[in-house]
Amino acid sequence: MTELGSCPPISQPLSPSALEALAACPFCFLAEKLWHYKEADEPEEELSALDKGGLWHTLLATFYREQLDAARKAGRLVACLDAGQKARYLARLRDIAKQLLADAPARVFVGPPGLWNLQREQIEAALEAWLNHELFLCSDKEKAFHPAEVEFSFGARSSHRVPPVNVPIVLPGEIGGHDSQFSPSGRPRMTELGSCPPISLTYVLPLEGRLDRLDLRLDDPDSAQPLVTAVRVLDYKLGRSANHKDDVKEEVLSALLAAQLPVYLKAAMEFVKALETQKRVRVDWGKVWQESQAAYYCLRDIPSRLRGKKPALLAILKWPGPDLRAFLSGDDTIAAGSLFDAVRTKVLEMLQGHFPVHPPECRSTSCAARFVCRYQAVPAESDTGEGGRKRGGS
């Protein structure tokens, strides 16, 4: 995408988190993503939440990647845990954790030895609870989902060779008189035509990303060509579900303030279509559209949820629009109120140079753009809005 009117150029595909930033505060998106305005991070006193999350992601991905390798050698598409092998699984988890935690101080700042030892003990103590939760999730054999991919990437740099989620964007003529020809890479080349009449241009905006885990529900995991009846995408979170309860609300999804799970599920659906084309699976699309799930996997909730025999998953229960299929539509037509419709609306506003501060009264002390924001000369003391929800931008 090259410069159109007053809009700064966007040379890279957008990620789901970038969509969320654009929806939360267009001006903050402009400052951070396009102007690359960023403050230096304050030094941490102990292992940061980001680095701790990275350790957990790597640990769980390594464990399931090994289980998937073994499953594929046996001719299965998914990894099915066996409760009878719990001791072996736990021993392997502890071995992986021991190696990761031993290497961590050489890769990230872990803080004073006393605090680091406490963090290590907390991670090690949580392993058995996580494994018990995984065995609980797959205890109902008819309804259970099983991991098919971990650290699943989609886009031009995808290690899984999965294409990006392409959102068609039609530029109305009033944005500018340009002629567009696509380069071999798929990105448009713009050529000035002087005083030519306004025309509409169509191109695609690629969305790229990586999701933590893609699960499938299969009628017979041991079959040579199993039947897929549902898809589930999971995003690991270190905190409790209470921290993300707003992110599964219909109005928040419609506004793209929580775009990650919908985009991930769209990419997962395309992955399943590819498996079907390759004749590796059969697909009951009626059930898939009705029973597929997208959820936050809240690791800190595991102990309490296990006591109540409930999953530590915060799932989206109600999708915007009539149903999931309509919300993720876009292959043939884009339905009003769908995910693609919301993305297209935001992108068109951006291309017309509209980067409003939202909300004007936010005065966030954590926003990277607060020192260039025209609505706050001096950062305020609080960065939370009504109801305690953190503001998305300046």
Per-residue pLDDT of 17-28, as tens digits, reads: 999 999 999 998
Query: Is 358 domain-assigned?
Result: no
What are the residue ranges of helices labelled H in 278-333? 285-291, 302-307, 324-327
pTM of this prediction? 0.85
The domain tally of the chain equals 1
Query: Is 53 domain-assigned?
Result: yes
pLDDT at 370: 79
Most confident residue range from 166-170, 205-209, 230-234, 329-333: 230-234
| Lookup: tokens for 320 | 């915007």
Confidence check: pLDDT of 380 > 80:
no
- Beta-sheet strands, E only, within 50-110: none
Query: Is 105 domain-assigned?
Result: yes
How many Cβ atoms sit within 10 Å of the Cβ of residue 86? 15
Confidence check: pLDDT of 208 > 90:
yes
Predicted confidence band at 252 (pLDDT cuts at 50, 70, 90)?
Answer: very high
Least confident stretch, 107-121, 291-305, 367-381: 367-381
pLDDT at 254: 95
| Residue ranges making up the domain that contains 243 | 49-157+208-318
Query: Is 143 domain-assigned?
Result: yes
Query: Is 221 domain-assigned?
Result: yes
DSSP state at residue 238:
S
Distance CA 119, CA 98 (A): 13
Confidence check: pLDDT of 240 > 90:
yes
Query: Is 272 domain-assigned?
Result: yes
pLDDT at 44: 77
Query: Is 325 domain-assigned?
Result: no
pLDDT at 176: 43
Interval 123-147: pLDDT, tens: 999 999 999 999 999 998 889 999 9
Distance CA 371, CA 375 (A): 10
Query: Is 113 domain-assigned?
Result: yes
Interval 54-106: pLDDT, tens: 999 999 999 999 999 999 999 999 999 999 999 999 999 999 999 999 999 99
